């Protein structure tokens, strides 16, 4: 059980699932709303803004995440963004 607990602990032994504030995720939410406006140019800004913001967030989590969970979460988001961009271009 201790092995799994250490996956969620930071260097101080605190369990960290999410952190606040996380301005990249707030900005991603802003761009997410843009995707539902019925103008094609604004939808494109929403799509690319969302993906670039999440790409930056995932990079920070992979590189600087405080525990294994945060690094895994960043990796999963990075894979999801890659799939999203590849699927939209086909």
Report pLDDT digits (tens) over 18-33: 888 789 999 999 999 9
CA atoms within 13 A on the CB side of 40: 0
pTM for the model stands at: 0.86
Please write the tens of the pLDDT for every residue from 24-77: 999 999 999 998 888 989 999 999 999 999 999 999 999 999 999 999 999 999
Selection from 19, 47, 18, 22 nearest residue 32 by Cα: 47
For residue 90, the SS3 value is coil
Domain ranges of the chain: 23-89
Query: What is the pLDDT confidence band of residue 1, given thresholds at 50, 70 and 90?
Result: low
CA distance 76 to 25: 15
């Amino acid at each position: 059980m201790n092995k799994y607990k250490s996956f969620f602990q930071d260097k101080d032994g605190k369990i960290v699932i999410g952190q606040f504030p996380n301005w990249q995720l707030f900005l991603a939410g802003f761009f997410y709303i843009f995707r539902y406006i019925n103008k094609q140019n604004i939808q494109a800004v929403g799509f690319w803004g969302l993906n670039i913001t999440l790409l930056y967030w995932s990079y920070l989590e992979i590189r600087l995440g405080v525990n294994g969970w945060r690094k895994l979460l960043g990796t999963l988001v990075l894979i999801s963004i890659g799939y999203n961009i590849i699927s939209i271009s086909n």
